[in-house]
Structure formats: structure tokens, C-alpha cells
A and B are shown apart, each in its own frame.
Chain A
Amino acid sequence: MALGLVKWARIKSPWILHFNTGACNACDIEVLAALTPRFDVERFGILLKGSPRHADVMVVTGSVTRQIRDRLVRVYEQMPEPKFVLAVGNCAATGGVFQQCYNVYEGIDKVIPVDVYVPGCPPRPEAIIYGVVKLLEKLAKS
């Protein structure tokens, strides 16, 4: 009963943490556009948090550089269970144009588990919202 309530609350209001692992800022701007009044995902209860300790979903943009890898894992470990990861953009999904570089990993899934991938360079805010909706569906089934 209590668990069901928690799950209901989580689906109705997922709190997200936005983390840039080396993106060019394009994906970050699209994520911000989704959060701010033009698209306004806050009306669905999706709220940006500043601390990983308060977040349910980590929205990661950018290819994972070697420099940021340990920081990413650390931030991911600080999030409370159950936690979910949304990879926004081609770089986050596969490394994108930086695939054969000596200093990047080919996608976030080489470092931490990813639940939903949103392709695009950068993806439109609609696509990011659609990705979040897919994530919530997955969450509802869990």
C-alpha cells in the first residue's frame, strides 16, 4: 500500500537532475527549453533539482569524457534508489561525432546503466518530453 503510494508519487512527479558530461551545450539548451515556460514540463510535476540526493531521474547530455567519468559515477551513486538515467542526444547515446576520439567513452552506457535514449543532435524538447514519458511508462510497469 505504502509502496504503491510512493510509486504513484514518483510517476506523478519525477524530479530530475541535469548533468553535462562534456556536451557542446546544444542538448543543454534543449533540456532547458523543455523545463522553461515554452514547453513547461513542470506542469506534469517534472522538477529540476540541484542535488543528486533529491533526484529520481538523471538527464545526461554529452559524450562521457575520460576526465568526467569518475565524477559521473560518483553523482550517480549519490542518487537514492530507485534511480533512472535518460541519455539525451547522440553523444550521450553512442559518443556521436567524438566516437573515435582518444578521450571519450562511446556512450554513457559504457559507464552507468541507461534506461531511455533520446537521439538527435540536439533532440527537440518534444523528443526529450517523449523520452521522459517513455521512462514514466517503464516506471509504471516496474
Chain B
Amino acid sequence: MAGKTSLEEAVEKLKAGIGAENVLEVKYQPPRNVFVLVKTEKLKDAVSYIMKNLNYQYVITITGVDLIKQNQMEVIYHLTDYSNTISLRVRIPRDNPKVPTITDIIPGATLYEREVHDMFGIVFEGHPNLVKLLLPDGWPEDLHPLRKDVTVQQIRERLEEERKKGVRGI
């Protein structure tokens, strides 16, 4: 049955699978969700362990968080077996946001990674086609709308500047 017990079991198995020292923080979000912070270099191991050994089938989405006060970024992978959700978190430095891609384990994550790349500028290393997905055609490559250090007003001014330079499609 779905519930906290089976999630706790899953976390215990995950700890045994990738090594307890690589799981930095576990936070339960009752009734059916748990947030697990893992080391960035162990991310792929954790994802493939959850998908193969714990029988989770599906990545709901990938989200990013801009933790500007800690000068860090967070990427959260929401994985589910259709009743419970494990949300894997990784922390990366804000000035060099790079994580390995999980598209070789889950091909369906391609679009989610591209979206996070658009919105936060996080680079997914090894992604087959990391180009713009949602933003307009002429959007500047170094402008990421969900980063906390840029306001709507600044974005609009920047886009007007780009239009004056002759860039179209924004």
C-alpha cells in the first residue's frame, strides 16, 4: 500500500544502494512525497538506482531553484511510481551551474532539462540537444527569466536594447 512506510523503505534502500554518506538530507513531505538531497556526482547513480531497483517508472518533471542567498542553485528531479514521489535534489554552485544529464537513463527527461536550461541557465552536460525550448527565437542566450537577480523591468529593457540592435522574434 502507498504511504509513509513504503517511502521510508525506499529511502533506506536508496541509502544502501548509493552509500549513506552520499545522501545529505532527507525530508518527508506527507503523505506521499520525500525530498532527498544527494551529492551531485552521485546523481546519476541515484536516478538509475531508483528507476531500476526501486521500480519507479516515470519522471514527473524537473524543476530548478535559484538559491541566491547561498550562491547556489538546486535542481529537483521528481520521480514517481504512480503512488509515491521521490524528489531528488542536487546543489550546484551558482556561478558554474553544471549537472550531468539523465537523458541516457530516462530519454523522456530531454524536454524538462531543456526547459530548466532556458529558465535558469543550468547546463546539463551530455544532453543530446540542449537548445532553446520555450523562450522566443531572438531571446538572448545569457538572459534567464527565472533567476532571482533579474527583474521583469530589466528583462524588458534588455529586450528593447536587443530589438534596437536588429534582433527579431522578441
Residues of A within 8 A of B (CB): 65-67, 69-70, 100-103
Contact = CB atoms under 8 A, between A and B. Distances in A.
B168 A70 contact: yes
B163 to A, nearest CB: 9
A102 B134 CA distance: 12
Interface residues of B, number: 12
Instruction: Please name the 5 residue pairs, one residue from A and one from B, whose CB atoms are nearest each other, closest first.
Output: A67-B136, A102-B145, A66-B136, A102-B155, A66-B170
A108 B170 CA distance: 15
Contacts, number: 22
A66 B152 contact: no
Which of A65, A70, A101 is most buried by chain B, counting CB atoms within 10 A of its CB?
Answer: A70
Contact of A100 (B135, B152, B159): B152
Contacts of B148: none
Nearest to A100: B152
Which of A67, A100, A101, A102 is most buried by chain B, counting CB atoms within 10 A of its CB?
Answer: A102
Interface of B: 135-137, 139, 145, 152, 155-156, 159, 168-170
22 contacts: A65-B136, A66-B136, A66-B139, A66-B159, A66-B169, A66-B170, A67-B136, A67-B137, A67-B169, A67-B170, A69-B170, A70-B168, A70-B169, A100-B152, A101-B152, A102-B145, A102-B152, A102-B155, A102-B156, A103-B135, A103-B136, A103-B145
A103 B156 CA distance: 9
B7 to A, nearest CB: 36
A66 B169 CA distance: 7
Contacts of B136: 65-67, 103
A70 B166 CA distance: 12
Nearest to B135: A103
